[in-house]
Homo-oligomer: A and B are copies of this chain.
Amino acid sequence: MHGSQPCDVEFWFEFGSNYSYLSAMRIEDAAQQLAVRVVWKPFLLGPILRALGMQTSPFVLQKEKGAYVWRDMERQCRKYRLRWQRPSTFPRVSVLPLRVALIGAGEPWIGAFCRRVMELNFVLDQDINQADRLASILTELGLAASNILTEAQAEPAKQQLRQQTEEARSRGIFGAPTFFVGTEMFWGNDRLDDALRFASQRA
């Protein structure tokens, strides 16, 4: 990892997180330009926030910050040329797509799958925790949807997501998206480019 190859960047994300949407849509292209490899790290943000004393997103708990965030998202999406529709339900339950993402984390389809789920939430304003919608996405990607969804709904996948979330907490993650390059942590979509540059300079 510290040899002649660029470092990996770990991308810790949540399908319910709007700022994770911005990063999920951009990270593969941006990383490729710097020859950095992306390691996809889906986790559950809810238990992390609850451990910090928050029962839901700070964008719901703090009305002033919440009001600001939706305006900020409009501007950010325009800046990055991403489509955007404010979700009518926020934050959306994301357990099932996160388990699918864990199964696909090392597969070539992970990026495309995550972008489709993010668009379901933040462009099409649809529930993302429905097996049939995820099956459509997986099928469109040429994958064996029913096998993957059966695996995602079995106990080992549930346990794996709990473990990954516990790892997030133990590494000091307090929000999403978060990036790690080795032990160096970067928080928020606003640090994506810094994290990638840091990874590429360690090459």
Contact = CB atoms under 8 A, between A and B. Distances in A.
Interface of A: 52, 62, 64-65, 67-68, 71-72, 75, 79, 172-175, 184-188, 190-191, 194
A174 B65 contact: yes
Contact of A68 (B52, B75, B187): B187
B194 A75 contact: yes
Contacts of A184: 71
A165 to B, nearest CB: 14
A194 B190 CA distance: 12
Nearest to A188: B190
Contacts of A75: 194
A62 B72 contact: no
Nearest to A173: B64
Contact of A194 (B79, B185, B186, B191): B79
B194 A64 contact: no
A187 to B, nearest CB: 6
Nearest to A172: B64
Contact of A71 (B175, B185, B190): B185
Nearest to A71: B185
Given A52-B62, A62-B52, A72-B187, A67 B172 contact: yes
5 contacts: A52-B62, A62-B174, A64-B174, A65-B175, A71-B184
Nearest to A51: B64
Contacts of A172: 64, 67-68
Contacts of A173: 64
B174 A68 contact: yes
B68 A185 contact: yes
Contacts of A52: 62, 64
A180 to B, nearest CB: 12
Given A68-B185, A79-B194, 5 more contacts: A52-B62, A65-B175, A68-B187, A71-B184, A190-B190
